[in-house]
């Protein structure tokens, strides 16, 4: 059973640039959620994708967008990067969209630094 | 955005001692309360979870106590070991939105 994998593991961008982060969900999981974890803080919910459609969104601006592909892998795109976007971005997969029906399986994250 | 308050921010416990981490939530619609453990450089991993229809759940050395009327829940780690040293996050969820606490950095001294 393959776990959740994310890429890249680390990246550095400058303010105003755009970034794409990728996630492969665990085998058998059709739902992917993205979280932002600032240093010393808990993960904050960005959005969730289920069957290629956005299925819930946290309090993040529209410059945070995503995609889910037929194989359930997912991308997180952030446009017009700001310094405060520097964080660990976590992808979590689950076998169904309801977070309250079971655990989330997290990847190791992509650490983004915006200079 | 934080709807789950967690304390303490950091905790140091001697090996064999009891570690206690507390959380409080605001939204009464939350109906699933997990605890996640995170080691440096890793993503969070589910440790134990509880639903509001029970007041306590125990798995090995880990116990969740849940007080629905007070909107509080806590994690107890019995016989704490140096390998338990990690950051612990409580969380609460309803449907597809899981809210995490700010985390507790636990250090267990040998």
Chain A partners of B99 at a C-beta cutoff of 8 Å? Answer: 45
Segment A22-50, tens digit of pLDDT: 999 998 889 999 999 999 899 999 999 99
pLDDT score for B3: 85
**Averaged over B70-96, what is the pLDDT?**
94
Percent of chain B residues topping a pLDDT of 70? 97
**Averaged over A79-101, what is the pLDDT?**
87
Segment A44-77, tens digit of pLDDT: 999 999 989 998 899 999 999 999 999 999 999 9
Contact (CB, 8 A) for B19 and B11: yes
CA separation for the pair A66, A69 (Å, rounded): 10
What average pLDDT does the structure give for chain A?
92
Q: Which of A75-79, A81-85, B1-5, B77-81 has the lowest mean pLDDT?
A: B1-5
DSSP string, A3-22: --EEE-SEEEE-TT--EEEE
| pLDDT surpasses 90 at A102 | no
Going by pLDDT thresholds of 50, 70 and 90, the confidence category of residue B87 is very high
CA separation for the pair A31, A73 (Å, rounded): 9
Strand partners, A106: A92
Chain A partners of B24 at a C-beta cutoff of 8 Å? Answer: none
- Distance from the A70 Cα atom to the nearest Cα atom in chain B, whole angstroms: 20
A:B CB pairs within 8 Å? 71
A51 closest CA partner among A79, A25, A31, A27: A31
């Amino acid at each position: 059973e393959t776990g959740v994998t994310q890429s890249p593991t680390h990246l550095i961008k400058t303010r105003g640039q755009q970034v794409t982060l990728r996630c492969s969900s665990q085998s058998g999981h059709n739902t992917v959620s993205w979280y932002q974890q600032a240093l010393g803080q808990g993960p904050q919910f960005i959005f969730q994708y289920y069957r290629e459609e956005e299925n819930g969104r946290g309090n993040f601006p529209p410059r945070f967008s995503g995609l889910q592909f037929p194989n359930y892998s997912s991308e997180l795109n952030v446009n017009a990067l700001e310094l405060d976007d520097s964080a660990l971005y976590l992808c979590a997969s689950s076998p169904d969209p309801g977070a309250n029906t079971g655990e989330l399986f997290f990847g190791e994250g992509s650490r983004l630094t915006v200079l | 955005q934080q709807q789950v308050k967690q304390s303490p921010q950091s905790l140091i416990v001697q090996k064999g001692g009891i570690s206690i981490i507390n959380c409080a939530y605001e939204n009464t619609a939350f109906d699933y309360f997990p605890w996640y453990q995170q080691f440096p450089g890793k993503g969070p991993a589910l440790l134990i979870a509880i639903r509001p229809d029970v007041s306590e759940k125990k798995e090995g050395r880990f116990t969740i106590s849940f007080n629905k009327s007070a909107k509080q829940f806590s994690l107890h780690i019995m016989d704490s070991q140096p390998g338990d040293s990690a950051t612990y996050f409580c969380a609460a969820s309803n449907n597809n939105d899981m809210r995490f606490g700010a985390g507790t950095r636990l250090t267990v001294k040998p």
